[in-house]
Chains A and B, each alone.
Chain A
C-alpha cells in the first residue's frame, strides 16, 4: 500500500507537469492540474494509512 501511495504521488505530480507543458487552453490546463492534485491526495491517503501503527503496537 505504501508503494502504491508513493506511485500515486509521483503519478499525480507527473500529471500536473504534463498538463502545464502540453495543454494550451487555460481551462483544460486547470482541470488537469487539479486532477493531478487529486491523484496526489489519494496517494497521501494511501501512504498515511500504510504508516498507521499496527493494532497493539504501542510505538
Chain B
C-alpha cells in the first residue's frame, strides 16, 4: 500500500474544504477559554493574552521555517535507506514558503490548515503551565514547537514521511493513520505540556508539606463550558478538513466524520459526568468539560474510518481515561496541570491513535494496522517526548521559564501585564499560608 497523496478536489469540494478550514480557529478559541476558565481570576487576562500571542508566533514561525521541515506528500524531502526501504525523515522545502503556490490547490489548503493547527498544538502546553509560566518563555517555547517539533512529526505522518510509509515499506496496513491530528497536533502538544509541567514544577501552595494537593477551583466555569462548545465547532472543521486533505477520503464522508465527532464528544462528556457523579455525589463541571475535550481529541485520528457506534465507544473510553488520569497525575505523580492538558491531549490522543488500530475499517489492506499505530505511539513517547523536554530544558537553562515568587503571588495579570482581567473585583487569597 502506498500512502495516499493529497487528493485532487473538485471546485465544490475545494470550497467546502476551505470553509471547513476556516472553522478550525474556533478550536483554538475553545482551548484558550477552557485554559482561562480553569485558572484563577488573577491570571485570566494573562491566559487570554498568552493564547493570542501563541497563535500569532506559531503561525509566523511555521511560515518562516516550520513548513520547510514539514513539507507535503510528493514534494522534496531527505531520505536514507535501510535495506530496500527509503526512510523519509524530513522535508526539504524552502524557508518562508518560497516556491509554494497558494492557488486554492489541495496542497495550498493543507498549508492553510497547518497554519491554524500549529497554533492549536502550541496552545495546549499553556494549560499545563498556567499561572506560573512567563510570557517571554511561552513565546520562545512556542517558537521551538512550531519551528521544529510539530513540523518534524507532522512530516512523518502527513508529509509522506516514514511513519506514513510503514505500509508501503513494511506491509503495516496503510501505514500510520491519523486523519484529524490526534497525534500530530494533540499528543505532540500534550507531551510538550507534560514537559512544561515537569520543568516548571507545581504552583506555589498546590501541595502541602505532606504532599497532599490543594483544590484550586476553576474561576469561571461558564468560560470552560462555552469553550467546549466552540471547540466542538472547530473540531468539526478540523476532522473533516484533515480527513479530506491527509487521509484521502472523499467529500461523501464528511457527514460521517461530523456525526462521529459529535458522538465521541457527547459520550465522553457524559461518561465523565456520570463517573464524577458516582464518585463524588455530584457531577463535576471541570472534569466533564475535560472529558468532552478528551472525546474530541480521541475522535480525530479515526473519524473517517469508524462507524458511529464505535465513535461512541472511543469517546466513552476517552472520557473515563481523562477523569482517572487527571486524578492520577495530580495525586500520584504530583504533576500540577491546571488545564488538564496532559490527560486530555496526550492521553486522549494516544487512545485515539490506538483506537484506529483496534476499530478502523480503512479501505485496502488492514493487516498490521494496529502495529503501525503502536509504532507511531512509541515514536511519540520514545523520541518526541525526550526531544521536546530537552529543548524546553535547554531553554529553561538559558532563559528561566518560571515566574518569580512575587509574581506568582501577585498574579500573572498584574505582574506581567500591569492590569487585571477583573479590576473591579477585590480578591483575597489564603493559599500561600503554609498548611
Contacts and interface: CB of A to CB of B under 8 A. Distances in A.
Interface in A1-24: 6, 9-10, 12-14, 16-17, 20-22
B382 A29 contact: no
Given A10-B383, A10-B386, A14-B382, A58 B208 contact: yes
B374 A59 contact: no
Contacts of B209: 56, 58
- Among A12, A40, A44: residue with most chain B CB under 10 A: A40
Contact of B204 (A22, A33, A58): A58
Nearest to A55: B211
B418 interface: no
A40 B371 contact: no
A40 to B, nearest CB: 5
Interface in B82-100: 82-83, 85, 87
Contacts of B335: 51
A46 interface: no
A21 B85 contact: yes
Contact of B82 (A21, A36, A44, A47): A21
B429 to A, nearest CB: 15
Contacts of A55: 211
Contact of B381 (A17, A26, A29, A40): A40
B201 A16 contact: no
- Determine which residue in A13, A17, A20 has the highest number of CB atoms from chain B within 10 A of its CB, and name it: A20
Given A6-B389, A26-B368, A20 B381 contact: no
Contacts of B85: 21
A40 B375 contact: no
Contacts of A53: 201-202, 207, 211, 334
A10 B382 contact: yes
Interface residues of A, number: 31
Nearest to B132: A59
A13 B383 contact: yes
B417 interface: no
Nearest to A30: B371
Contacts of B83: 21-22
Nearest to A16: B378
Interface in B189-203: 198, 201-203
Nearest to B432: A58
A45 B371 CA distance: 23
A37 B378 contact: yes
Contacts of B374: 33-34, 37
B308 to A, nearest CB: 30
Contacts of B232: none
Contact of B382 (A34, A36, A48): A36
B379 A16 contact: yes
A13 B204 contact: no
A56 B385 CA distance: 28
Contacts of A37: 374, 377-378, 381
B334 A40 contact: no
A58 to B, nearest CB: 5
Contact of B198 (A9, A14, A26, A51): A51
B382 A52 contact: no
B299 to A, nearest CB: 24
Contact of A20 (B170, B201, B208): B170
B283 interface: no
Contacts of B377: 37
Nearest to B206: A59
A13 B207 CA distance: 34
Contacts of B379: 13, 16-17
A30 B367 CA distance: 12
11 contacts: A6-B386, A12-B382, A13-B382, A16-B375, A17-B375, A20-B170, A37-B374, A40-B378, A51-B198, A52-B333, A52-B334
Given A9-B386, A30-B371, 8 more contacts: A10-B382, A12-B378, A17-B379, A29-B371, A52-B333, A53-B211, A57-B207, A58-B205
The 3 A-B residue pairs whose C-beta atoms are closest, nearest first, are A13-B382, A59-B202, A16-B378
